[in-house]
Amino acid sequence: MTTTQARADGAVGALRGGIRARGLTKTYGAGPTAVHALRGVDLDVAAGSLVVLSGRSGAGKTTLLNCLTGLDRPDAGTAFLGDGEVTAMSADQLLTLRRDSIGFVFQTFGLMPLLTAAENVGVPLRLRRTPVAEREERVRLLLDLVDLRRHADQRPGELSGGEQQRVAIARALVTDPAVLVADEPTGQLDSRTGHQIMDLIEAVTRERGTTTLVASHDPGLIARADQHLELLDGRLER
Ligand SMILES: Nc1ncnc2c1ncn2[C@@H]1O[C@H](COP(=O)(O)OP(=O)(O)OP(=O)(O)O)[C@@H](O)[C@H]1O
């Protein structure tokens, strides 16, 4: 299956453009203890680019990624992925968007401990009710992509941190999403393994044309990114 066919099958098939946000605002709590996590964020990301989002702890990185991908709702402002207005979607539409068009990679990997590496990679395809033969073929391709075919039958507890994150990357990409979001993907890894994961994320972005947002402080990745966004107290400084 080609990338174009896979994406056209998705419910948000037109979602191949970039990312746009205007005036994103999010406050947790109220009164004197309110936390202004986002204070009017505007951004434009070109389709197919690699974007690094940095900023110190508490600056609002996770909140911004969550508002852009519909995991959280901003109090004000708009966010578009391609021509889909995320901030105007219903809960059902957001589920479809995330299932078909966005791949997520987290700092803590988020794998299911009782499933093998191959079964973990196949989970998003099960959710889409992809036929078994096609699912197995896609899982094999993705395990090859992250060089883990020989570990297909091992459970996460039997894999190193770097291997677990590679399984998570394969799972994030198995539906051929237009957008890949990685929130501090190397936070739990030693620096050498972390660099390998960043190299892999950059390679898949370039090869597959995903629009990739990575929350990270990795200077090497920042140097290679198409765009570097820096959050300071809920505002984009660059
Ligand atoms: N559900 C919540 N309830 C209350 N406050 C929250 C909630 N989620 C985030 N915050 C606060 O909003 C601010 C931004 O948090 P966020 O997690 O977006 O920052 P971050 O830049 O991702 O930080 P880190 O690098 O530590 O993960 C922080 O002050 C945080 O404590």
Q: What is the CATH number of the domain that holds 177?
A: 3.40.50.300
What's the pLDDT tens digit per position in 133-149?
999 999 999 999 999 99
Cα-to-centroid distance, 25 and ligand 1 (Å): 13
Which domain, by its residues, includes 146?
3-236
Residue 94, CB-side half-sphere exposure with 13 Å CA sphere: 15
Q: Which residue has the higher pLDDT, 15 or 100?
A: 100
- Domain total of the chain: 1
Predicted structure pTM score = 0.89
Pocket probe mutation, ligand 1, options 26, 27, 35, max atoms within 8 Å of Cβ: 35
Q: Which residues of 4-30 are buried (b: 16+ CB within 10 A; e: fewer)?
A: eebbeebebbebbbbbbbeebbbeeee
Whole-number pLDDT of residue 5: 36
Whole-number pLDDT of residue 16: 66
What's the pLDDT tens digit per position in 200-219?
999 999 998 999 999 999 89
Ligand 1 pocket at CB < 6 A: 28, 35, 37, 55, 57-63
What's the pLDDT tens digit per position in 74-87?
999 999 999 899 99
Element (H, E) at 63: helix 61-68
Pocket probe mutation, ligand 1, options 41, 63, 108, max atoms within 8 Å of Cβ: 63
Pocket probe mutation, ligand 1, options 38, 62, 107, 108, max atoms within 8 Å of Cβ: 62
